[in-house]
Amino acid sequence: MAKLLVPLVMLGAVAGSHRCPPRCLCPAAAPNPTLLCARTGLLAVPPTLDRAAVELRLADNFIGAVGRSDFANMSSLVHLTLSRNGLRRLAPGAFADLRALRALHLDGNRLPALSGAQLRGLASLRHLILANNQLAAIEPAAFAAFAATVEDLDLSHNNLPALPWEAVAGMASLATLTLDHNLLERVPAGAVARLPRLARLDLTANRLRALPPVPGPPGPSLAAGGNPLHCNCELLWLRRLARPGRLESCASPPPLAGRLLWAVPEEELACRAPAIAGAAADPAAVLEGQPLRLGCAAAGDPPPALHWLGPDGRLVQNGSRRAVGADGSLELRVATLGDHGAFTCVASNAAGEAAARVQVAVLPLPVPRGDGDGEGEAGPGPSDMARAGGNESRAAAGERRVVAAELTGSSARIRWLPQRHLPGIRMFQIQYNSSLDDSLVYRWVPAGAGAAFWGVLGGAGRSFVLRDLAAGRHYDLCVSALYAEGAAALPTPRALGCVRFATPGEAPACAALPRPHFLGGTVIIVIGAAIAASVLVFILILTARYKAAAAARRPPAAVASVCSQTNGTH
């Protein structure tokens, strides 16, 4: 079935040596080669394109995908239009050869996402138009190739719930950023301030409840109407910029709902200091090695941010052993005796802050006591907190469950008591982390492996040497046993105990040893003397050989006849 061809007004020219692709118009009246293949019913990029073209317009066709070789070797192309094609797929590296391209129009298509490889190679791009697509996600690396050159970025009328703001903040030449009619819920503080040349920012019709201050005056022209803004003291800066005719309006609080921001008096844009409704630990007391959760609830306007301070007064950060949830709760995955004490929940917002203390009790694991068979229930044991020497003992309270001994700058021997009251032990698990790196390290020791020692309570204990430790660091270490009641039962972990220890620092260098720079100078002198001696010996050998050869080539001297006369005879 024949397709309908719609004539176009064309600009540019194609060199006479190149054949014009079918259903494209290639006039020869302009100084730059231009191909106009718009509204020609194309289902794919024509393979017979003039590779020397400067401008290529393929708008209003039915091109559903762009392959890796469709624009290969078109290093002179400056302007490419693929608008309104229903484009769904861009092959990785599809524009890799377009090093001179300055404008790329991909609006009016159906692209679902952008990855880093799809826009690779566009080192000169200044205008990127991606409006009216179906973009729901953009990788941070998608803008890396042209972050230093792009001036106009249009992502309007998409489905973006978030934006790679760190990548956008690195666009030093960006002048226009169009983000209207998306699903954006947040603009990070300082993201706009890092764009020194930004002249226009359009955030119309998103889901923003708050806006961070933009630099100025003078600053970029801002459009933020159609957002459900929460009008409080954080929007005072926008209220002072607002003028009659602007469309920013309040969606909350209820007394201000539906009112235009510029019409709200400044004194009504108020904030409320946070108040902590409750903070508690669940459970309030645990044995060391067990998990624990601390909850904290606070109210304020704007909603306060929650953070925690440990018993030592230091800020608690996310790690392998501790994690702060989105709701402000603190989870201690493995409680240690260092967690015993009062944690502080701090709630803060623009109007102030509030604090509440939560008491946490971490009990040491009991030491097993019993007869010679090792049976019997354990009573309360001593603390597992070991000093750097690792040899601390308390005879009155019995032997500790876990001990760190034989400490060096890079290793430690970990000992734990026998566990014959736990039947079917399969293996032991050792987990530890250092004070400078909160990520947990795991070691598994089979039940029959490791060195044995005789405990004072009776029975053979186990020990294991940890290596590759760092000198001068504090470590929190816990030992657990994995046991099973029967052969088909799943192993069950049982915490045996925890210990804290510190590896000694690096030993100071001995004063009698030569200093490194002295040793280096001595070595250089010795090597230089050896080289000089070798050269001298080589010269002497050459000289001797030269003299020997010269003597061998010299002719023998002639023997003259000597006549003497003595008493008239020869």
Last residue of a domain, one of 342, 363, 384: 363
Lowest-pLDDT range of 9-18, 363-372, 485-494: 9-18
pLDDT over 70, % of the chain: 75
In contact, 280 and 399? CB cutoff 8 Å: no
Element (H, E) at 239: helix 236-241
Same domain, 356 and 407: no
Domain-embedded: residue 175 = no
What is the Cα–Cα distance from 415 to 347, expressed in whole angstroms?
Answer: 43
Same domain, 341 and 286: yes
Please provide the average confidence, as pLDDT, over all residues in the chain.
Answer: 79
Same domain, 414 and 329: no
3-state SS record for 111-147: CCEECCCCCCCCCCCCEEECCCCCCCEECHHHHHHHC
Q: What is the CA radius of gyration of the chain?
A: 41
Last residue of a domain, one of 363, 390, 420: 363
Same domain, 407 and 471: yes
What is the Cα–Cα distance from 44 to 202, expressed in whole angstroms?
Answer: 34
In contact, 499 and 477? CB cutoff 8 Å: yes
Same domain, 350 and 443: no
**Nearest partner of 475 among 440, 427, 428, 450, judged by Cα:** 440
In contact, 294 and 357? CB cutoff 8 Å: no
Same domain, 276 and 354: yes
What is the Cα–Cα distance from 48 to 67, expressed in whole angstroms?
Answer: 14
Q: In sequence order, which residues have a C-beta less than 8 Å from that of residue 296 and are 6 or more positions away? A: 276, 278, 279, 306, 308, 328, 329, 330, 345, 347, 356, 358
Which one-letter amino acid corresponds to residue 63? I
Q: Which pLDDT does position 511 carry in this prediction? A: 47
Evaluate if residue 433 carries a pLDDT over 90: no
Element (H, E) at 542: helix 516-553
Q: What's the domain range around 358?
A: 272-363
Cα 480 off chain centre by: 32
pLDDT tens, position by position, 295-314: 999 999 888 999 999 998 88
Domain-embedded: residue 192 = no
Domain-embedded: residue 262 = no
What is the Cα–Cα distance from 110 to 66, expressed in whole angstroms?
Answer: 13
Domain-embedded: residue 345 = yes
> Which residues, listed in sequence order, are joined to residue 364 by a DSSP beta bridge?
none
Mean pLDDT of 343-349: 92
Domain-embedded: residue 456 = no
What is the Cα–Cα distance from 536 to 148, expressed in whole angstroms?
Answer: 61
What is the Cα–Cα distance from 56 to 396, expressed in whole angstroms?
Answer: 89
Residue 414 — pLDDT band, cuts 50, 70, 90?
Answer: confident
Which one-letter amino acid corresponds to residue 150? V
Domain-embedded: residue 173 = no
pLDDT tens, position by position, 276-301: 998 998 888 888 888 889 999 999 98
In contact, 342 and 358? CB cutoff 8 Å: yes
Instruction: Give the count of domains, the chain.
Output: 2
Same domain, 357 and 408: no
Same domain, 443 and 495: yes
Same domain, 359 and 410: no
The pTM assigned to this predicted structure is 0.59
**Nearest partner of 461 among 471, 447, 482, 478, judged by Cα:** 447
Last residue of a domain, one of 363, 393, 421: 363
Residue 206 — pLDDT band, cuts 50, 70, 90?
Answer: very high
Domain-embedded: residue 495 = yes
In 376-388, which positions are buried (b, 16+ CB within 10 angstroms) versus exposed (e)?
Answer: eebeebbbbbbeb
Residue that has been written with the tokens 């826009």 in this structure: 119
Q: What is the CATH number of the domain that holds 357?
A: 2.60.40.10
Q: How is residue 298 written in tokens?
A: 């606070």
3-state SS record for 3-67: CCCCCCCCCCECCCCCCCCCCCECCECCCCCEEECCCCCCCCCCCCCCCCCCEEECCCCCCCEEC
DSSP letters of 482-526? EE-SSSSSPPEEEEEEEEEEEPPPPPPPPTTSPPHHHHHHHHHHH
pLDDT tens, position by position, 219-241: 788 899 999 999 998 888 888 87
Domain-embedded: residue 435 = yes
